[in-house]
Structure 1
Amino acid sequence: MTPLSIGVALLCVAAFAFLNYVFSYWNRRGVQQLTPYFPFGNFSDLFLGKASFPRVCETLYERTKKWRLLGVYILLRPVLLVNDPQLAKDIMVKDFQHFHDRGTHVDEENDPLSGHLFSLAGEKWKHLRAKLTPTFTSGRLKGMFQTLVDTGEVLQDYIHTCAKNEEVVEIREILARYNTDNIASVAFGIKIDSINNPNEPFRQIGRKFFESNFRNNMRLMITFMVPKLNKYFKIKSVDAEVEQFILGMAKETLEYREKNGVVRKDMMQLLIQLRNTGTVSVDERWDVETSTNSKKLTIGEVAAQAHVFFLAGFETSSSTMSFCLYELAKNPEVQRKVQSEIDSVTALHDGKLTYDSINEMRYLECCIDETLRKYPPVPVLNRECTKDYKVPDSDITIEKGTAVILQISAMHHDPQYYPDPLRFVPERFLDPDMKGKPYAPFGDGPRICIGLRMGKIQTKVGLCLLLSKFNFELYGHKESELVMSPNNFLNTPVNGINLKVSCRE
């Protein structure tokens, strides 16, 4: 043999030994694993564009749900999938101190919009979470309520025109525009009308971020599960165009309000309070008194929080509303029942939609909760082990730095917990035993979505205003269930959601 062939042979042996060692990580720690394959580990279908990240995870769950834990590999990185609902809940709640970070990419210097509450870690997350919590009190939400109703009435007028013309509407796009207008108003204090003008810059930015394509899917997956690649390859959390737009909009709004003394009941006003005083007032005042004592937010930090409010509020509410209307169109008896409730409750409030009236609509709440069970906005939740953790009733220790995935969507679809899980049954949430079942569409524990109540109110307002005036029917959906795109991190129907709309008699 020549020296070159010997060298190549030794290199191949070394590479084989290295990969064998890397891909035996879970076996060496007593965790059951499925055979990984170089270079994609257990996620070949994801990287080859055959299935989305959540769908790959759900398929793995279906194969291995008898195991509490499953060790997998994303590329060469070991990742732990949690199949057991009680263990998942413990990780989010009781044993939170071992898993208080998400382990996602944050680089506030080079990627300023990455420094938002969702991704921040450690003490910085803890302090910011505490400061932002007063943003979502009942009093604050009541203050923003009329803004949501005003936007909803524009949506009502638009759908009325569609109904008169007997049009079929792609409801996801329309509701994306509606929620874009809502979030632009409450997060940035800017009045826009993308409902009637779909090319509004704000709508284009939202469309660009959530566009169903391989690039966006990979960006989100890397940011969440292989964040070191963000650093090595300088992959930002958003495109440069999105970053410049959000930073510019936040700076322009902030400077205009401070210069002109403008006070508005929205999230941006509360972020301005936080920037200038270091706190959000707990007495539900909206004006600002500058303080020199507390640590304040930079413009970049203000922009990052407004950015995540925009993305989370826009996507969560628009997808939940769309899937809910799809299911109501598919189940007309449920649609009639929720319409009857909306009519009767509204009549008790002089025919007006108020903050108090929507919170009395229990069946509507059940419909939304069932939608979130079947179509959770974030199908999997990620955590990073921040302190070695011994798994209860086992000899397994999860080491510090380990990436952990909680199988939320898979548990929501497991017939062991939800009989006939693909059926839309809002009455599940009237059952007292529901509290013992796995249900976490917004997470749980200290890192539960801070804007949960805001998102639900936004969803309720939109659905109330639509269902009080219109009936919805399926159009052109031949499959028994929606087919989701393999190229999106979130639940995105391949052909949209097409509904026929008509005015109620």
Structure 2
Amino acid sequence: MLTDILLIILSAVVVAYFYLKYNAGYFKRKDVPFIPSNVLVGNITDLAFSRTDPTEMVNKWYHHPAGKDLPFVGMRVFNKNAILVKDPELVKQVFIKDFNKFSNRYLKADLHNDPLAASNLFFTKNPQWKMIRTKLTPVFTSGKIKQMFHLIDEVGQKLSSYIDKTVEQGKKMEIKYVCGLYTTDVISSIAFGLEINSFKDPNNEFLLSGQSMFDFTISRAITFTAVFFIPKLVPLLRAKMIPSQVENFFRKVFTFAVEERKKSGAFRNDLIDILIAFQNASDKGDTDLEFTDEMLLGQATVFFVAGFETSSSAMAFTLYELALQPELQKRLRKEICDVYERENGKLTYEAINSMEYLSMVLNETLRMYPPLPFLDREVTLAPTETGYSLKPFGDFVMPQGMPVYVPAAGFHRDPKYFPNPLKFDPERFSPENKGNIVSGTYMPFGLGGRNCIGERMGLLQAKVGLFHFLKNHYVRPNAQTMIPMKLNKRALVIQADGGIYLDILKA
């Protein structure tokens, strides 16, 4: 009996091996150049075993000799064959011109086990995605964001006061943590209509929830890897992008916020007001999309999660680079002080958006440290279509469901598009130079129809935070500052390995 069982197991292993081996030869049979890969995990071996950070992994793909000077190259993520796009014109064809065939991301969250992730704008597939996107787009118009500006600025002023006290007390603080206090309060106010004041209560559940989402323990790293690279296994692994304790907390808070808003009749022009309006329209049958409580909560949750992490990282990496180049920091601080004086000590929406050098600095930060080092899509064909041809870039025809990856970090650090790419140089984005940036090579917020809907909000949040941080203070390296920067090898959303430590001094 035992012998029979062992024989069955051995046979299954042999069959699986030869299947994987055959699958790994897909591009060779199709006569398509490909990056050689591990039979079991494909081209993400280094990431799977935490040998390298995701930005370095993507750069290895981008610069692999197998794809040199080619518009695309074959690759594998675990057992799934995929295409890596390396030509900016092909990038624009996939993400913009033929968006209708690439409107879905390859990644996946499990609707039954992880409903808040699966129902939000980032993860949903067409046609639900398009309906939600259409409804949410008005939330992020310039007019709406301008109306929310005072809420962001109020938190920025609290950040400045907090830094004052921190400096006076001689405390040593990790910079990303400080920026996270700020973004937590901003997003809590805008998305949930609640004043949290993380500067006085750093152990509040909003902050702890945001931190736990991006605490890349081994289990969280496995979850992110499954969601982004092995979506078919997500239900089997019961992988949850929104951990259960975070989900329960947001359910409680969202329910409370909505009920209180409905009772009071108050109008703050924040996300809660917009979502309530959507649900009311849905209840009346004025929309084709049913805005359930689950769907509304999903949008609010991803708005918080994305806003908390991306803006705080952008701020922290900006301060790090400025600390290493004091002349650049001096120039930015002069712009900040000039605007502050011109506006008589009151920051306005128009003033922050007029700050040319601040925009240049932040854009350069996002070039060097894009939140996600790659973008992903999958081919979605009409029933009558048999494949998607990559002509005129090549003869290969992509089958239904094949993933396509765009190495954002590779483009961002390619000297062909950004000379001396490892140098932090805001002048790349000056009014005189930004027109020289090749379209399709800069994508910190994605490209095309599925670009980040909250891009303007995220940039505004980071700008206001940096304004108030540097208004009366400056930063410089200390003995704990990591030079050169090293990124966390487990973090798919890029993070500094071990944090960013700088001295904060009164100006």
Specify the TM-score bucket, using the shorter chain as the normaliser.
over 0.9
Deviation at 1:77, TM superposition (A): 1.7
Equivalent residue in structure 2 for 1:487, among 490, 494, 497 = 490
CA distance in 1, matches of 2:342, 2:497: 41
CA distance in 2, matches of 1:352, 1:459: 18
User: Deviation per CA, 1:35-69, whole angstroms, max 9, x where unpaired?
Assistant: 32232222222222222344322222222451322
State the AA in 2 paired with 1:347: E
Deviation at 1:70, TM superposition (A): 2.6
Deviation at 1:169, TM superposition (A): 2.4
Instruction: Give 1:196's aligned residue.
Output: 200
Which region of structure 1 is more displaced relative to structure 2, 202-211 or 103-112?
Answer: 103-112
Q: Give the alignment of 1:251-290 within 5 angstroms.
A: 251-278=255-282
User: Deviation per CA, 1:272-299, whole angstroms, max 9, x where unpaired?
Assistant: 1111124xxxxxxxxxxx7443344111
1:258/1:217 CA distance change after superposition, 3 Å? same
1:88/1:477 CA distance change after superposition, 3 Å? farther
Equivalent residue in structure 1 for 2:314, among 300, 312, 320 = 320
Q: Is the 8 A contact 1:79 1:402 kept in 2?
A: yes
Instruction: Give 2:384's aligned residue.
Output: none
* Number of residue equivalences: 491
Instruction: Give 1:390's aligned residue.
Output: 389
Q: Is the 8 A contact 1:58 1:410 kept in 2?
A: yes
Instruction: Give 1:409's aligned residue.
Output: 409
Deviation at 1:8, TM superposition (A): 8.6
Which region of structure 1 is more displaced relative to structure 2, 442-451 or 67-76?
Answer: 67-76
State the AA in 2 paired with 1:468: K
Deviation at 1:72, TM superposition (A): 2.1
Equivalent residue in structure 1 for 2:375, among 381, 405, 411 = 381
CA distance in 2, matches of 1:96, 1:86: 14
Q: Give the alignment of 1:139-154 within 5 angstroms.
A: 139-154=143-158
CA distance in 2, matches of 1:483, 1:413: 15
CA distance in 2, matches of 1:9, 1:356: 69
Q: Give the alignment of 1:185-334 within 5 angstroms.
A: 185-278=189-282, 291-294=284-287, 295-334=289-328
CA distance in 2, matches of 1:167, 1:25: 57
CA distance in 1, matches of 2:357, 2:207: 32
Pairing 1:86–2:89 present: yes
User: Deviation per CA, 1:479-504, whole angstroms, max 9, x where unpaired?
Assistant: 54211111111221112111111111
CA distance in 1, matches of 2:23, 2:43: 13
CA distance in 1, matches of 2:73, 2:271: 41
Pairing 1:419–2:413 present: no
Deviation at 1:10, TM superposition (A): 6.7
Q: What secondary structure is seen at the aligned counterpart in 2 of 1:70?
A: strand
Instruction: Give 1:42's aligned residue.
Output: 43
CA distance in 1, matches of 2:284, 2:267: 17
Equivalent residue in structure 1 for 2:159, among 137, 140, 155 = 155
Deviation at 1:127, TM superposition (A): 1.0
Equivalent residue in structure 1 for 2:340, among 320, 341, 346 = 346
CA distance in 2, matches of 1:109, 1:341: 50
CA distance in 2, matches of 1:311, 1:30: 43
1:13/1:202 CA distance change after superposition, 3 Å? closer
* TM-score, with length taken from structure 2: 0.92
Structure 1 gap segments, 5+ residues each? 279-289
CA distance in 2, matches of 1:8, 1:192: 56
* TM-score, with length taken from structure 1: 0.92
Deviation at 1:29, TM superposition (A): 2.6
Deviation at 1:117, TM superposition (A): 0.6
